[in-house]
Each structure stands twice: as C-alpha cells, then as structure tokens.
Structure 1
Amino acid sequence: LGSFEGSRWKMRAEKRKKNAPKELERLKSLLRADADAVMEEVKEVAAVLPPAELRQQQDDCKMDIGNKRNKKTFLDEHGQYPVWMHSRQKKKLRAQRLKEKKKSKLAKAMQKASAFE
C-alpha cells in the first residue's frame, strides 16, 4: 500500500505538470472574454453621485419595522416572542420574567405589611 501511495502522488504531479500549459491558456481565454464585461461593470459602479443624492438614497433604504420589541425581554407590543426564537428560550425568558414579577409583588406586600405595623 505504501509504495502505491507514493507512485499515485508522483503520477498526479506529472499530470499537473503536463496539463499546466493547457490550464493556463484556458484561464487566460476566460480573462480575455470577461475583461470587457468587467470594465463595463466598473464604469457603472464608478458613476459619481453628489453627497446629497447619496444621503437621500440611504434614507430610502431604511427598513420599515412595524413592531417594536423590548430589547431585554424580546416581547413585542402584543406580548409575542419573535418567530425565530426557540421554545426553550421563550420558556426560560417567561420564567425569568414571572420570577421578577413575583419578587416585586412580594416586596410590595412586605412594605404594606410593615406600614400597617
């Protein structure tokens, strides 16, 4: 097996050497054919626009986001999580939110109780 591996790589190297000129010619012909098309694209890209027009185009490209989300809880105004969020993550966030709510209710109850005493 070992001697066969060596001869295989040797033959591949010889094949690469033999096919190199043909491959080079093929690549050069591709470059010649694409050079005109590339130059046309460069001319289109290089069109100079005034800064005011560029700013106006950038304003037009802004995405219109319909619903606003809370960055901390990921909930939108209707209390819904994003569609891409996994149910495990939703469950974890919901539990965390309820825990905070319970803690604050308990603290308020303790304050009321201490106020009556």
Structure 2
Amino acid sequence: MAKSLRSKWKRKMRAVKRAKNAPKELARLKQALAHGGTGEISMNDIQDIATVVPAGKIKEKKVDVDMEGEEVDDGKMDMDSKRSKTTQLDEHGQYPTWMSQRQAKKLKGKRMTKKSGGKANKKKKGIAW
C-alpha cells in the first residue's frame, strides 16, 4: 500500500519539514539540557518544548480521590463476573454482545456434544451405499 503519488509527495514534504525544523529543535534541546545541568531552569523556558505539570499537583489529585471514599481504580477492567468462562454464557443464558452468531453456534455445538456424552448421533450427508 502507500505507493500512490500523493503518499510519496506527503512523505517527501514531511522529510523536508523535519530537515528544516531539526536545527531549531536541536537548539531548544541543548538549551534545556544546559539549564538542567546548573539547576537554573524556569518552567517558562521549557513550556514551549513540553507540557509541564508540577509533581505536587498530581500527588494532591491522587490523594484527594483516595480521601473522598470513592472507588480507587486498581487497573482492572470492569468485567461481568457472572459469566461462565468456558461457555461464555451469563446467568440468563445469553452470549456477550460482541460475539458473532457463528461463534455462538460453534460454542453451543460443543456444549451439546458434551451433554450427550461425546456421542454425536448425526446422520452423515451424502450417498449411503
């Protein structure tokens, strides 16, 4: 893909833009590093390079949320815990909304063969000799 004339032109122009802006970007980074070595850096100097948020502000936000008694996000996804992991069925016998009909039919077939003891009494299609 990405072999059209338009995409080639866009890539070429992006490369030209990078080459044009590289000296300015390098000068900004050198200036930021030079200030960082002496410890005399102001937030206004770096503000045009990066978004600056003081660490204390972030910590205060986190502490305020914990103190209010709200649920603390422990990084786990909200999942329906009443769903069987093997059959994917919930307590009402419904499959998840994201599951296609073909997948549901396949799982139902597996479930039915397990119930019948693994014996599939299906007639084979075709010519019986």
TM-score normalised per structure 2: 0.44
Greater relative contact order (Cα 8 A, min sep 6): structure 1 or 2? 1
The structure with the largest helix share of the pair is 1
TM-score normalised per structure 1: 0.47
Structure showing greater Rg: 1
